[in-house]
Structure 1
Amino acid sequence: MKNKSTADSAVKPKRKTAYAAMANNQATASVWTPDYVLRLQQNIQPCGCPGCNNASPLMQFRWRNHVRYSADMGCRKAAIEILNRTASCTITFSEGAAESLPELAADRLQMNQLCLHLFTAFRTEPTLLIYLLGRFIREAAALDTQQRVALQEAWLQPDFRQTLRLDFSRSHSPDDYPPVRLHTLRELPLWSLAEEDRRLKKLEKLKSTGEEALRQRWRELENTSGFSAAAQQEILGNYLFYLLCHHFFPGNPVEEWQKNFAVLCRRVLNLKTLLIVMSTEANMENLGALFADCHRKVMACWR
């Protein structure tokens, strides 16, 4: 298992459990284990793909007061489990002994947990969730920790949830968020894989189009994808859960939040594009293998 002492890279989070180690000032660390890690721990057979070379894809991010388990998306087996449509997207909370390591800032952990709460509320609407994550970190940047909690709790009220949905529909097209533009597509790592893999032949239709015709071509590909609209939404939601957990979104410091959000949007668009261009061989094994390969290019491009 890979270890990192500090991470830069729900889910139904139990707030009391997650913050217990910090609140009572005992020499313990809160330990978070996402469900995809538990499934990978049960599947101990070596993978042997280029992303792991028979090593475990499991990872740890460790601080004195917090430990988080995750997995390397560059491993094909890990990618399949992370994107798995039957994933519960939950976190198991426990406590462990504190180690002689730097502290994870309480406000960084808090913001990550608040974003995971948003995921819990809107996981079935991934495009809306992305919009809300961007809006939330923008508004929260100027607030203190108590005000951030109050803002999020207000957002989770049923009436205000509807207001947020209306705000999104008035300002964005649900099928065009994050926005699809030629210049953004050409920057995606997936773009460079198109010539290497016959399963991405459909991507050529986007490569050869102009900006004005792009949306029409995009919709055509969405309609002929081997993954149903419902499957695409589930897979995108599972990937967002991974990004929030693995990268401690929105990260630290506050000045980096918008940059980190832009990277999150590009990562999601990369997967979204892959989902619509896969057709006859669309299954979780092929998707996991292709996306793991693509993820390794992502890590090289967007470190």
Structure 2
Amino acid sequence: MKQIRSYIPQYLLRLHEADWHCQCPTCQQDYPFVIIDWQDQRRYSASLSCERVAQDILFNADAFVLHSAEEMSAAAWQPNQLQQKINQGCINLAISDAGDIPVKLYAIGIYINQMMKLSADDVAQITRCGEEFSRLLAQGALAEHFDLLPVISKYKLQAVRALSATRLDTTLDARAGMALSLKLNEFTVLADNYLEQNLTALDQDAQLATFMQQHRQLWQNFILYRCYHHLFPLNSQDAFLALCGDVYLLKILCGLLIQSEIELDEVRISALFAAMERQPVRLTCDADMLLVGLSLLK
């Protein structure tokens, strides 16, 4: 046994203080609360697959205010210094006041790509790299670079095809559930050129753009959850592709409901995010994972 630092996020304190009556598919199996242990740190968390948890994480600006303490632990697994530094660097980029969500994800992706080339022993370079990316994001340089990326529709089509083939376990109300099901079923039969037109129309939809801007905190909290709960990205760019895929497909789901004139309230949004967490859409990749992930952001 050794003494370690433990962290409890505000969302978890709030959930523990409330009476627990959630009956979503996750909570019908077990309580969603978890402890993430490694050798010198413990993180208390809860699964976003629970709709009650999702709502508290996504819709509270203070969700990731962390409360720390000292505890005893016998945990054996130890991420190396590079893994811990990358994780913290991603968190720092996610909480930056600069950049919209696609630019933040672009910054995180390029940062991960650069950090993976470093040695875990190069502590000074690891620190400098994180500081440099935060500075470039704050100065707007990364936003300028992001704007120069080409639009590649191929991977968006593949992602939406995978979404249409996935049976999402949503608890949406009948009206919203039916509208979403009809839209996704329509996507399964559309030829690529027509599906691309539909996706372009969604990308250019003013109501969806307004929704994304008005709920910037929601998307930021979603990224922070992935960083905090999963020690994102560990050693793989798979995690970055999965994150970009989830953000893109959740945006598509929200856009489809907006097109159907369904109000996106906290309950419906939380149900969508929790369903995607319960049944992730697996993306196949025939190219560099960083490139594919970035293509989903444009």
TM-score by length of 2: 0.77
Counterpart amino acid of 2:75? L
Quickly say closer, same or farther: Cα 1:160–1:61, change in 2 above 3 A: closer
Q: What are the within-5 Å matches in structure 2 for residues 46-85 of structure 1?
A: 46-53=21-28, 55-84=30-59
Q: What are the within-5 Å matches in structure 2 for residues 180-259 of structure 1?
A: 181-188=156-163, 191-193=166-168, 197-200=177-180, 201-204=182-185, 206-221=187-202, 222-223=205-206, 225=208, 228-251=211-234, 254=235, 257-259=236-238
Shift of 1:64: 3.4
Quickly say closer, same or farther: Cα 1:158–1:265, change in 2 above 3 A: closer
How high is the sequence identity, in percent, across the aligned residues?
24
The question of whether the paired residues in 2 share the 8 Å contact of 1:58 and 1:72 is answered with yes
- Ranges in structure 1 where 5+ consecutive residues have no aligned partner: 1-25
Q: In the comparison of the two structures, how many residue pairs are matched?
A: 268
Deviations 1:75-109 (A, max 9, x none): 1111111221x323533141322312214234122
Counterpart amino acid of 2:65? I
Quickly say closer, same or farther: Cα 1:295–1:227, change in 2 above 3 A: farther
Q: Distance in 2 between matches of 1:229 and 1:159?
A: 19
Q: Distance in 1 between matches of 2:61 and 2:276?
A: 21
- Ranges in structure 2 where 5+ consecutive residues have no aligned partner: 284-298
Shift of 1:123: 7.0
Q: Secondary structure at the match of 1:50?
A: coil
Q: Distance in 1 between matches of 2:215 and 2:195?
A: 20
The question of whether the paired residues in 2 share the 8 Å contact of 1:35 and 1:87 is answered with no
Q: Distance in 2 between matches of 1:223 and 1:167?
A: 24
Q: Is 2:82 aligned against 1:101?
A: no
Q: What are the within-5 Å matches in structure 2 for residues 1-303 of structure 1?
A: 27-53=2-28, 55-84=30-59, 86-107=60-81, 108-121=83-96, 125-143=100-118, 144-157=122-135, 161-172=139-150, 181-188=156-163, 191-193=166-168, 197-200=177-180, 201-204=182-185, 206-221=187-202, 222-223=205-206, 225=208, 228-251=211-234, 254=235, 257-279=236-258, 280-298=262-280
In the other structure, the counterpart of 1:13 is none
Q: Secondary structure at the match of 1:286?
A: helix
Quickly say closer, same or farther: Cα 1:82–1:272, change in 2 above 3 A: same
Q: Secondary structure at the match of 1:90?
A: coil
Q: Secondary structure at the match of 1:142?
A: coil
Deviations 1:9-39 (A, max 9, x none): xxxxxxxxxxxxxxxxx94212222332222
Q: Distance in 1 between matches of 2:165 and 2:7?
A: 31
Q: Distance in 1 between matches of 2:165 and 2:277?
A: 9
In the other structure, the counterpart of 1:3 is none
How well do the aligned residues superpose, as a CA RMSD in angstroms?
3.2
The question of whether the paired residues in 2 share the 8 Å contact of 1:30 and 1:96 is answered with yes
